[in-house]
Amino acid sequence: MMAFLNKLTLILMMKFFKLLFSIIFMLMVFNANAQKNLVENGGFEDNLYGWNDNGGKITPWDFKSGKNSCAIITTGTDKWVGIDQSIRIPKKTGSLEFSAWIKANNVVKGEHDWDGAIFSIAFLDGSDKEIEGGDNIAHLTGDQNWTRFSKIIKVPARAVSFKILLAMGNASGGMIIDDVYAAVVNDQLVVK
């Protein structure tokens, strides 16, 4: 009887360790795939440090995480008001994943289809000239609760850096932004 119980304990312990090791292994794989955020001060906890500021305001009144976010508020539909950040692309990057949390309040766009509260990516060559391959990730009008907008974009061959643009583009009203993120995509994970 004792021998049987010992054997049972041993089997149970082995099962437990197998489970423990597979959990540890999964956590290691998960960590290896969690990529570094390339955006400087993407959560606006350090004011507008790292951003080119053309009308952004740090606000503690409404945010997604931390203590602050960035609000862009406009009264007319005749201007491009916003913030941007240019970031060098790490070597051998195939694709980049971008995301940001955005909330919109009463956004009324101007006369063009592309006007509105905008989150977009532009790619730049070695002379800081914009090249094809950029994309719009969010284009909002009206009201929108806090929503995470994200997209994986393939890096064009000649791209040296990318620019993240968050703006009220010829639109009135307000947008609030938090947790802006850009990271290299582990290409093995992308289903082709």
- Minimum CB–partner distance for residue 84 and Ca ion (Å): 18
Q: By three-state DSSP, how is residue 23 classified? A: helix
Tokens at residue 78, please?
């005749």
Tokens at residue 74, please?
């406009």
Nearer to Ca ion among residue 80 and residue 149 (C-beta): 149
- Minimum CB–partner distance for residue 121 and Ca ion (Å): 20
Nearer to Ca ion among residue 155 and residue 164 (C-beta): 164
Distances (CA, A) of 174 to 24, 50, 90: 45, 22, 33
Q: By three-state DSSP, how is residue 26 classified? A: helix
Distances (CA, A) of 38 to 20, 23, 89, 163, 188: 33, 29, 9, 11, 20
- DSSP annotation of 189 reads G
Nearer to Ca ion among residue 44 and residue 123 (C-beta): 44
Nearer to Ca ion among residue 43 and residue 56 (C-beta): 43
Q: Which residues form the interface with Ca ion (CB under 5 A)?
A: 43-44, 63, 66, 178
- Minimum CB–partner distance for residue 99 and Ca ion (Å): 14
Nearer to Ca ion among residue 63 and residue 162 (C-beta): 63
* Token pair 């995509």: residue: 185
Q: By three-state DSSP, how is residue 59 classified? A: strand
- Minimum CB–partner distance for residue 58 and Ca ion (Å): 9
- Minimum CB–partner distance for residue 55 and Ca ion (Å): 18
